[in-house]
Amino acid sequence: MSANDLDTVVGTYLERLDLALSAMPAPKRDQLVEEIAQHVAEGRRQLGEESPAALLQLLDRIGRPEDIAAAAFEEDEDRRLSFQGSGPGNRGLPDRFAIGLLLFGGFLFGIGWLVGAILLWASSAWRVRDKLLGTLVFPGGLALPLYFLAAPSGWLIPAWAGVVILAVLLIAPVLVAVHLHRSRRVSGQEEG
């Protein structure tokens, strides 16, 4: 295998990476591909006598392009908490408060729920999908079933459907609150 063939192997590897990152904005994608290309180049320089087996081993250590892309997407999404300034317990308090307000804040003229939603979105403890879930299921929290009961007039739904809807309105926010409690990313041992 000639040096050109080895260049082709590297080129194909980088193309695979570029393809795996195609959903990423071009500047970020180009930067990561460039960094990996430099890593490959540096690794090749350090190989001394370059053989196909040594090059493949080098690429193997760097990893599958698809795995690198997966890590890149994960890092993009996953803004983990910094440990900085987080004494035990104090960091999680606003987050727990947010969950409480999302559930019961609706009873405080609706404003409490709104504050809970703001705290939820301001916190870095949850991913966007969890924040969406916490906001959409359901606005008003446990106060919503109350509004549902208070204003049923004019709704042409069978009684059993009303019971089902009521049950969903009661149970879903509780389940979401449990999910938010479990999924929040607190610092290390603080909450396990």
Partner 1 sequence: MRRGAIEYCVLALVKDEERYGFELVRELAAADGLVTSEGTVYPLLTRLRREGLVDTVWRESNQGPPRRYYRITPHGRRALEGFVGQWERFRDAVDRLVVLGGKP
**Binding residues for partner 1 (CB under 8 A):** 28, 31-32, 35-36, 38-39, 41-43, 45, 61-65, 67-68, 71-72, 74-76, 79-80, 82-86, 88, 187-190
Least distance from C-beta 112 to partner 1, angstroms? 32
* Residue 127 to residue 77: CA distance in whole angstroms: 7
* Residue 190 to residue 87: CA distance in whole angstroms: 9
Q: Which is nearer to partner 1, 19 or 161 (CB)?
A: 19
* Residue 55 to residue 41: CA distance in whole angstroms: 10
Least distance from C-beta 183 to partner 1, angstroms? 14
Q: Which is nearer to partner 1, 40 or 117 (CB)?
A: 40
Q: Which is nearer to partner 1, 71 or 118 (CB)?
A: 71
Least distance from C-beta 58 to partner 1, angstroms? 9
Q: Which is nearer to partner 1, 28 or 129 (CB)?
A: 28
Least distance from C-beta 100 to partner 1, angstroms? 25
| Contact (Cβ atoms closer than 8 angstroms) between residue 21 and residue 29 | yes
Q: Which is nearer to partner 1, 12 or 31 (CB)?
A: 31
| Contact (Cβ atoms closer than 8 angstroms) between residue 58 and residue 43 | yes
Least distance from C-beta 121 to partner 1, angstroms? 19
